[in-house]
Structure 1
Amino acid sequence: EARPREHKKLNQPLIAPVMHLHFRHVPILSVLQETTGRFFENQANYQCESGYQMVGSSVFICQANRPKCVPTKCPEPPLAENQLVLREVTYQVGVVQFSCKEGYVLHGSSVLKCLPSQQWNDSFPFCKVVQCPAPPYIPFGDPLTSSLHFGSTVKYICVDGFLLKGESTIRCQADGSWSLPLPECIPVECPQPEEIQNGIVDVQGLTFLSTALYTCKPGFELVGNTTILCGEDGQWLGGRPACKPIQCPRPKKILNGKYSFTNFHYGQTVRYSCDRGFQLQGEETLRCLETGEWSTEVPSCKAINCQPPQPIENGFVEGADYSYGAMVIYSCVPGFQLSGLAMQTCEESGWSSSTPACLPTDCGLHSAMQLTTFLFGTIILYTCYSGYELLGNPVLACQEDGAWNGTAPTCVSIECTLLSPPENGFLHFTENTLGSTVQYTCKPGFTLVGSNTRLCLPSRQWSNTAPYCKAVTCNSPTQLMNGNIRGENYTYGSVVYYECNPGYQLNGPTERRCQENQKWVCTLQISFSKVRNSLAEEEMGFWQ
């Protein structure tokens, strides 16, 4: 501090004011020598304490700047090279403290002091990277790592059949320990297998390599794998199977017959029947079994033949054809009269009636004539019941010699002539007496023209004219675009052929046959699916 003051000796002010300096305590400065005066241009000598060096002049002159002391400077520590962190120690000049960056451990002295000689009192420390121990063991897992130092990671993988739960990696921390939590290897568990329609699944387990077995209910067969396997990723291997209905193959067609069906699945039936005049040999119904086979062999249709007619005593049988629709005629030798039906027809169940018999002819008077005496001249008039005709003299007279003038007549049944069956048809009757009827039918593929019944009249003639069987005719087949049809006969059993114009190819059957239902049907053997698509009338029907 300096302030002007009066000069005591001159007792007058100076031209230049005198500055009076008051020395204050200057830390870290040590006064080597101080003048007795504190006036302008007085001098004071300074020196630094141990550990400090002088910056500036050591002589302090009043009205001049005083010197100052700064810490002694030592070489820079190799911080980056040794991963060191430097921190000055508070209130301790020239003293520094070393530490390491995260993940490193200090080796050497942590505190150094800079000496007046501008050297450190000890060698520099260094930092060494932290090393973690071997990775922890986890059951059923393996660690994968290339280094164990700070910041490195370990990845865990699980053995087959186990899945990793948690983070797959852990990290080496600055304190030399591994980060937590550790992952776990838990057994693979597959979800519950899917159910399948019309099937059953038998689960043997849900862990790795466990199996599940699929089976189908009766009437269904498995499509796909019967066994699936729980894989290492927790998914079932082998795919989901399915149960489809068991289907039997298409039954064989039979000659002179047909079969009806709904479908060919398990449990369904096929019913066979024969054309008229044929009889089924074998089982009528076939059932589709769960093995995909039919329950029995396909039947056959055999032409109906009746057994030879039984011979009759005192009579004989006419007719050598015993096939379906054929007739035989019974008659008696003279003196015998037939009891029963004279004509019999071979039908599906056999002959149309029981065998007749030949009984002795009774030529006595009619039971209605119960007279006790016949006087001379008595005349008897014979008449027959309806349906019978008198054969002989209808009048007898009692003569004078007590004998009748002739033999008594007989009444014989009125019979119409025997009829023949129409061509391609059948004749059904039991007898040809007055009032009896006959019935006409036609073979498959033919239709009857005329009345189907005729009556035996008293005139011994049959009523109506004889009908005949006319072949069924199909409608003209649909014309083929870009093609033509060969065949002009459209009656039952006839075939027409389809052909394409040059440059076109036929798509479908090449020929069709006229059926008894007056419809055209394919005669080539094609797949059932195609038949269902192109012949809608065949569905829920029969195949011929």
Structure 2
Amino acid sequence: MNATLASLLLSILLASCVVDASCTRKLDVKRKCLKKCNSNSDCRGRKKKCFCDGDCGMSCVRHNRKCKEVLSILHGAVDVKPYNRFNAKARYSCDEGYTLNGPDVRVCRGDGKWGLTAPSCEIEGKCPPPPHISHAKPDSLPGRKYFNVGDRIYYSCEIGYDPEGFSIIACLDNGLWTKHTIKCNPKACPDPGHIHNGVRQVGDFVYMSKVNFTCNEGYQLHGSQSLKCNSSGKWEGVKPHCLPIKCPLLKNPSNGEVVYWNRNRKYIKKNLISLKYGDKATFNCMRGFEIKGDRERICSANERWSGESARCAIVDCGYPGHVPHGMITSPIKTTFGVKLTFRCANRSTHKGHMAITCQENGRWDHSPPLCLKQCTVPKVRHAKVYTSHNDNVGIVQYFNHDNYVVISCKKGYALENRHKKKSFCNNGTWEDLPSCVPAPCARRPPSLENLESGVMRFNSNQHGAEAKYECFSGFILKGHPTVKCQKGRWVGHRPRCIPIVCEQPGGIRNGLVYLVGKMGRYKYEEYTNRRRHTDQLEFECNSGYKLQGPRGTTCINGKWSPDKSSFPKCVPKMHPLFIGYQGKRKFHTFF
């Protein structure tokens, strides 16, 4: 059939789709059916239509649904129309001499699968090997491929299974076996019953099944943990029972005893033979002894006591440790009740208890004493040492621990840390012993006698620091320029700043010299004293003379500026007789 014919048949099928009242969905359908429908309107989507889908009845099926290609069969043929589409039919036929074993027609279903099981072609007049039946064996010879018409096969059940139904099948002339009804059911075992103080875990009471037993807490299983139903319908194994878990009594340790308690912490008398699961044993020791091992043990599920065996050992406080500068004077024993006594070495004092006792709790009642060495008189350079009572040490040679001395520095020296003048004796060593260093200068260095002539500068008043003197301009330093702080005082002579003066310049011929002051100018006589720095002189000529040179001079750092060699001169004035012209040129004539 070509593609055109297939499309034509599909169009006819879709056009004639009407609800078939006889096509109903069966109750025992063994496949998953598509959506149920009565008309095309019940189906969603354009590609789904309401078709009769075999035992699923009217269902929404895609109109282009396809099934996989049908496989050919040995010694036969299959014809599919239309090709592998929904509702296509596969018709089977066998070659000559063979007969069909199975359905002759299969239909492509709406789920895309072919219905029924593919048949096979068997030789005519022969039957294939008998069908397999679970837990049953045929009496035919193994390996035989074909059986003749009329041959009979008898099935027998395996051991542990009982037959139900007809156990004989026969080969028919169509090459098929008659339908068998035999079933092999497992043999049943009776209910094994329950156990006291325990539980069972069980399924079916049939051949090969098991029943497992467990006991409640505090009980132990005696017998088989599980029973198995055998081929004879009987249980294999001994039905168990649950007995209480018991632990034997424990022996009292030397210098101690055992006390028993139940789970509710109630005391149990000692006249028992054994104790139950969960009971506790507590060990107590006599005074002066202590438990080594587990103080409390519990009766466990394995009928044994938990933990390790306990014993009572005498209390031992252990060696209290070495005492520096001291010794133990009593016999050295460290067990309960023993008393140790101590003694400190010469030139030492003690702190604490000189005797200690080992207690019941395994500890000494006190720590060993401390033997603390004395200190000798400290030697401090440039200082005197005094006792805590402000007395000179004198003949005192040793100081006890925690005693202190006071350090007082000699003249010219001071404490390096002025807040620290005490030192304490600590086990033979002086702690933070003060030291004396050259003292700083308490006062400022001396200033210049005339503060307007110069300045004194210094940065520190510590020992070794220097103060420097400097003169202002117009003054010269006389003396050493520095003084130095030495052990609390400034060493050196204070210098002086002497004014710098200019020598008498003398007068000028045919003129006068004036001294310029703040209030004006004054006639400067040749016999006047020397002039100081910044003093000024002015020159003026007598009548009939004029000044030739600078009008004045200034005293600068002991020299006149301009200097004497540049001082001016007074020269006579000259008067013109007449003024004449020579052409456009003007000239004067003097006499």
Is TM-score (shorter-chain normalized) higher than 0.5?
no
Q: Whose relative contact order is higher, 1 or 2, with alpha carbons under 8 Å and at least 6 apart?
A: 1
- TM-score, with length taken from structure 1: 0.32
Structure with more strand by fraction: 2
